[in-house]
């Protein structure tokens, strides 16, 4: 088969790769229905995150089970499944508490930008649908695998509640789906920080009530204006830079909640500043597995359309174009069809 | 009257000061029953926290109301009251949410190491007892003003729950009362990190089930040993240094809760490290006012004896000795009798 490799900054190659096989008895092999490019793939693509060797790319996936290892009990060949970007046994105490993305046996997925994928800990990582889903829902189901699950965690970790105000920092696919998640959790006012017309439009469709284009001090002043001078109840940081993190923390009222779901790059939090901000801070790799059953249900019942973030659909062999379009911000998110 | 001034590192003077008077109609003047030296007073005393001019010291207090301003409605002369180190109107939305220490009208108290004290926003800051309390409870009532309230916030912000495991980093008075608070909130296992015999003993009396004397990597390894390899559910950081903050974060399992209640000095949190730790982080100046009614009730009903942290009692005019004893770690905490 052919799969996606990153050789260095902006050097994506779709090339011959060995077909994955069952290597542990808890593995499954999937034939993917769809995969995609993640905002986090752009860190190594841009040379910002260090990469020591050519790396198989991709960690968002859904598809049909081809084969399972002999210790796999619940997942069966022929089923349609979605999995998280982090594998989990779903039985350890960390998993039982809902933090499957920090499972004691966690591995981060890779090599999903390919037609076939090996998924470790299949029983604990994958969620199967009862029936094969209709084709038109594949994009939204794919979104639950990471980008929606991550936006949902952003809203959950920031304690979004009915009647409250949430600020979303970042208008990438995760930020947009954080808006959708905040809306579905009942936030009354959702302030999206965005400077980009088409993304503002999608944010409004997903439920944003206000758009703030200013950043830094001016952005904070605008949020304060919109929240009786206090700051928001919740801020959802969906970028991962020092600027976005401080924007989120400083936009939140004392006692409020700040979540952060993008891998931070170069972020340093000053203890005393954090102390006097008196916010709650929570984030990390989103425990998507916790939310998958609920999120898949919302998509299958057509109560959620997260697949709308995919504004570029390409055959898998054009994966390099998919990266380029996202890097140049011509596309919000690229879906790839194997 | 005479009051306590800090002129520079280790230069405490008890000297003539003007008697406080009502300056705003929401003020009250108290005649203090007791006051004390706070661990946070040691930062400027040691020259670590910057101080631009001679500063009146002290922010923990309880006593009898002498006089109130004409807009004070609920607090009356003759009442015994306890107040927080942070003033609050107790009516703004931040206060209503329980964050009185970040009230929009907050002032940090000072000048409490004196016989008489002006308290701004008396109605929102002070809590009166129904009757004058017996003398033997004064030390414990004084403790609710800051050191117990802060330990209690540490336990609350770290989500201490029945049946769970809590690590307390720091064996100062706040750390010891964080142990007591965790016990009263039902923690099953309370691990106190302490190297100091008399403090270990008091920690055990307050409810610590385990003492860890190791620090850094070894300390973390010991906590993991005690928690099935996972880390604690909660860690209560009661020091304010980089070392103690990282000790707390790294001792906590993913999905667990870390609180920090001492003003951080020189603390920088690395974003990526925090991200993969996947803990909840919450702290700041303790909203003591939120807890005062409950904590005063526990003391009056003799269900809590936080005054035991005062292991040195001095007349107020020996305040300089009280600082010295704490600085040299000969005393856990010094109570001062005006």
* Architecture in CATH for domain B149-283: 3-Layer(aba) Sandwich (3.40)
For residue A49, the model assigns a pLDDT of 80
How do residues B75-102 score in pLDDT, each as one tens digit?
Answer: 999 999 999 999 999 999 999 999 999 9
Angle between helices B288-300 and B147-157 in degrees, nearest 10 = 110
Which of A93, A245, A255 is facing B230, going by the closest CB pair?
A93
Query: Which residue matches tokens 């081809």?
Result: A66
> How far apart are alpha carbons B19 and A309 in whole angstroms?
66
Q: Which residue of A has its CA nearest to B279?
A: A282
Query: Which of B253, B271, B287 shows the shortest C-beta gap to A268?
Result: B271
Taking the model in full, what pTM does it have?
0.96
Q: Which two tokens stand for residue B170?
A: 């720091």
Instruction: Read off the pLDDT of residues A146-179 as tens digits, 9 standing for 90 and up.
Output: 999 999 999 999 999 999 999 999 999 999 999 9
Other beta carbons less than 10 A from residue B84's beta carbon: 33
Q: Residue B165 has which token pair? A: 């495991």
In angstroms, the CA A62 to CA B326 distance is 62
Say whether A278 and B285 touch across the interface (CB within 8 A). yes
Percent share of chain B, pLDDT over 70: 100
Q: What is the pLDDT of residues B200-259, one digit of tens each?
A: 999 999 999 999 999 999 999 999 999 999 999 999 999 999 999 999 999 999 999 999
What's the per-residue H, E or C state across chain B? CEEEEEEECCEEEEEECCCCCCCCCCCEEEEEEEEECCHHHHHHHCCCCCCCCCEECCCCEEEEEEEECCCCCCCCCCCEEEECCECCCCCCHHHHCCCHHHCCCCCECCCCCCCEEEECCHHHHEEECCCCCCHHHHHHHHHHCCHHHHHHHHHHHCCCCCCCEEEEECCCHHHHHHHHHHHHCCCCEEEEECCCHHHHHHHHHHCCCEEECCCHHHHHHHHHHHCCCCCEEEEEECCCCHHHHHHHHHCEEEEEEEEECCCCCCCEEEHHHHHHHCCEEEECCCCHHHHHHHHHHHHHCCCCCHHHHCCEEEEHHHHHHHHHHHHCCCCCCEEEEC
pLDDT of residue A66 exceeding 90, the answer is yes
Q: Please tell me the distance from the alpha carbon of residue A102 to that of residue B230, in angstroms, as a whole number.
A: 11
Are the CB atoms for B252 and A99 separated by under 8 Å? no
Q: Is the predicted pLDDT of residue A36 greater than 90, yes or no?
A: yes
pLDDT recorded at residue B48: 86
Q: How far apart are CA A180 and CA A190, in angstroms?
A: 9
Query: Residue A246: its chain B contacts at CB < 8 A?
Result: none
Compute the distance between CA of residue B249 and CA of residue B253 in angstroms, rounded to an integer. 8
Min CA distance, B180 vs chain A (Å)? 23
Rounded distance between C-alpha atoms, residue B187 and residue B299, angstroms = 20
Place A50 in a pLDDT band, splitting at 50, 70 and 90.
Answer: confident
Closest-CA distance, B244 to chain A, in angstroms, reads: 12
CA distance B15 to chain A (A): 32
- The residue ranges of every structural domain in chain B are 2-146+287-337, 149-283
Is the distance from CB of B59 to CB of B146 less than 8 angstroms? yes
Check if the beta carbon of residue A150 is closer than 8 Å to that of residue A174: yes
Backbone angles phi, psi at B152, to 5 degrees: -65, -45
Among the partner residues A228, A240, A281, nearest to B282 by beta-carbon distance: A281
Task: Give the β-pairing of A165-169 and A189-193.
Answer: parallel
Provide the chain A residues 265-294 that lie in CB contact (below 8 A) with chain B: 265-272, 274-285, 287
Contact A271/B229, CB-based, under 8 Å?
Answer: no
Alpha-carbon gap, residue A154 to A258, rounded angstroms: 9
State how far Cα A139 lies from the chain centre: 14
Rg of the Cα atoms in chain A: 19
The gap between the terminal CA atoms of chain A, to the nearest Å, is 11
Distance from CA of A99 to the nearest CA of B (A): 6
> pLDDT per residue over B125-169, tens digit each?
999 999 999 999 999 999 999 999 999 999 999 999 999 999 999
Q: How many residues does chain B have?
A: 338
pLDDT digits (tens, 9 = 90+) for B296-323: 999 999 999 999 999 999 999 999 999 9
Q: Which residues contact A39 (CB under 8 A, 6 or more apart)?
A: A147, A172, A173, A174, A262, A326, A333
Chain B CA closest to residue A158: B280
Q: How far is B55 from chain A (nearest CA, A)?
A: 21
Asked if B284's CB is within 8 angstroms of A278's CB, the reply is yes
Length of chain A: 338
Angle at B252 between CA B332 and CA B97, to 5 degrees: 75
pLDDT given for residue A261 in this prediction: 97
Q: Is the CATH number 1.10.10.10 carried by domain A151-283?
A: no
Phi, psi of B61 (to 5 degrees): -165, 150
B107–A contact, CB cutoff 8 A: no
Q: What strands lie across the sheet with B55-56, from one edge to the other? A: B11-16, B2-8, B55-56
Please provide the average confidence, as pLDDT, over all residues in chain A. 97
Residue B49 pLDDT grade (very low, low, confident, very high; cuts 50, 70, 90):
confident
Secondary structure of chain A as H, E, C letters:
CEEEEEEECCEEEEEECCCCCCCCCCCEEEEEEEEECCHHHHHHHCCCCCCCCCEECCCCEEEEEEEECCCCCCCCCCCEEEECCECCCCCCHHHHCCCHHHCCCCCECCCCCCCEEEECCHHHHEEECCCCCCHHHHHHHHHHCCHHHHHHHHHHHCCCCCCCEEEEECCCHHHHHHHHHHHHCCCCEEEEECCCHHHHHHHHHHCCCEEECCCHHHHHHHHHHHCCCCCEEEEEECCCCHHHHHHHHHCEEEEEEEEECCCCCCCEEEHHHHHHHCCEEEECCCCHHHHHHHHHHHHHCCCCCHHHHCCEEEEHHHHHHHHHHHHCCCCCCEEEEC
**Domain B2-146+287-337: assigned CATH number:** 3.90.180.10
Establish whether domains B2-146+287-337 and B149-283 are of one fold: no
Rounded CA-CA distance B153/B132 in Å is: 26
Residue A230 in contact with partner chain B when CB distance is under 8 A: yes
Rounded-to-integer distance, Cα A75 and Cα A121, Å: 10
Distance CA B292, CA B84 (A): 8
Closest CA to A287 of A81, A86, A139, A14: A86
pLDDT exceeds cutoff 90 at A113: yes
């Amino acid at each position: 088969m052919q799969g996606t490799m990153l050789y260095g900054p902006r050097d994506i190659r779709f090339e011959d790769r060995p077909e994955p096989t069952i290597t542990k008895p808890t593995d499954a092999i999937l034939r993917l229905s769809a995969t995609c490019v993640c905002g986090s793939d752009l860190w190594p693509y841009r040379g910002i995150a260090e990469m020591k060797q050519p790396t198989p790319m991709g960690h968002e996936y859904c598809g049909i089970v081809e084969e399972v290892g002999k210790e796999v009990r619940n997942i069966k060949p022929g089923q349609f499944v979605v999995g998280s970007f982090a594998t989990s046994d779903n039985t350890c105490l960390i998993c039982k508490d809902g933090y499957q993305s920090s499972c004691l046996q966690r591995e981060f997925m890779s090599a999903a930008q390919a037609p076939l994928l090996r998924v470790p800990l299949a029983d604990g990582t994958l969620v199967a649908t009862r029936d094969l889903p209709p084709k038109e829902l594949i994009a939204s189901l794919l979104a639950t695998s990471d980008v929606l699950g991550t936006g949902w965690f952003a809203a959950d970790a920031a304690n979004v509640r009915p009647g409250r105000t949430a600020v979303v920092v970042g208008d990438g696919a995760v930020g947009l789906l954080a808006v959708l998640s905040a809306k579905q959790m009942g936030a009354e006012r959702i302030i999206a920080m965005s400077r980009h017309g088409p993304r503002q439009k999608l944010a409004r469709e997903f439920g944003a009530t206000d758009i703030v284009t200013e950043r830094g001090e001016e952005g904070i002043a605008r949020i304060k204006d919109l929240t009786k001078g206090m700051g928001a109840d919740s801020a959802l940081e969906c970028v991962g830079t020092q600027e976005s993190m401080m924007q989120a923390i400083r936009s939140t009222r004392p006692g409020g909640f700040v979540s952060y779901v993008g891998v931070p790059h170069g972020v340093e939090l000053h203890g005393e500043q954090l102390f006097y901000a008196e916010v709650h801070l929570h984030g990390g790799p989103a425990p998507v597995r916790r939310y998958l059953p609920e999120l898949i249900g919302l998509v299958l019942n057509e109560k959620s359309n997260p697949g709308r973030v995919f504004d570029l659909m390409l055959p898998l062999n054009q994966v390099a174009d998919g990266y380029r379009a996202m890097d140049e911000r011509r596309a919000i998110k690229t879906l790839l069809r194997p």
